[in-house]
Homo-oligomer: A and B are copies of this chain.
């Protein structure tokens, strides 16, 4: 049974999900012994193996497609979910042992029918379909009043926690707002109260003036090495226009985001090779009433978190970080890889 528990001395919600430990790993040893085609025969995310996944909840299909595949993007519940879509969301209030039921949704987005491709090698149009899929699911979860936040992320490579190689993202719809997003919202809101402006908008302006941490930009988005980057080659993509939530993105901006994401990931791979990373979208919580929205401000963005070093006792004990590559050096190297 899934339970969500708060460590009261740290104020952190943790999902206690014993069943999640049963999921398979296709890595250990296998990838060295099998070529991609052979491996894809067993891959539950590959076309033809749809019966190996829980029932599809969403897909993009193109009847006029010239390809052999029946779908382009496909979403289904995670077979080994960290959250329980049939669970309770009831909260047990307690000074010391605060608990929520394990209710929530945990889905997988098979991003492409192709088994062995990196995200940035897909055409911009295909990356756009993935982004549209995210938006579709974000919208679907807004129908559940208990869902407070939708985490959208992807893990690239075994060292980044990916248990299957087929390109996929994950979506977790939770009854709590993630710790780091809550912190960002609090800080953005308090900056807004003090200065009357959005801290992310101000950062974009300041970074453009300074120039040295800018990696790339297009009409809609700017890509930077953040000034206080926690990880070597940490990279953020921000919409230039002030938008609180990812769902505010327009059709045209979706194309621009796909373009910027492809460019950025291509530059990172150009510099770092087949590097492991996590990619996360930080967006505003699910809000339904105007008064809720008025209570805070935010500016959604994408964070690419490469996994080049191993966080050790200092990082795990402090939640501070040691970054061995200066953001300015990282930005300079990546600028050199932008077409």
Shortest CB-to-CB span from A13 to chain B, Å, is 5
Q: Using known A-B contacts A21-B325, A228-B6, A329-B18, determine if residue A187 contacts B313 with beta carbons closer than 8 Å.
A: no
Which A residues are closer than 8 A to B by beta carbons?
A: 3, 5-21, 82, 95-97, 151, 153-155, 158-162, 170, 172, 176, 178-181, 183-184, 187-188, 191, 195, 199-200, 202-203, 206, 226-230, 278-282, 303, 305, 310-314, 316-327, 329
- A321–B14 contact, CB under 8 A? yes
Shortest Cβ-Cβ A-B pairs, 6 listed: A161-B312, A280-B317, A153-B313, A178-B318, A7-B228, A21-B324
- The answer to whether A161 and B96 have CB atoms under 8 Å apart is no
5 contacts between A and B (CB under 8 A): A9-B187, A13-B320, A155-B313, A180-B317, A278-B317
B5 touches A317 (CB 8 A): no
In the assembled complex, the Cα of A272 lies from the Cα of B188 at a distance in Å of 43
Report copies per complex. Answer: 2
A313 touches B12 (CB 8 A): no
- Docked CA distance A154–B317 (Å): 10
B320 close to A14 (CB less than 8 A): yes
Q: Is the CB of B8 within 8 A of A318?
A: no
Contact among B9, B318, B319, B325 with A18 in the assembled complex (CB-CB below 8 Å) = B325
Partner of A228, one of B12, B158, B279: B12
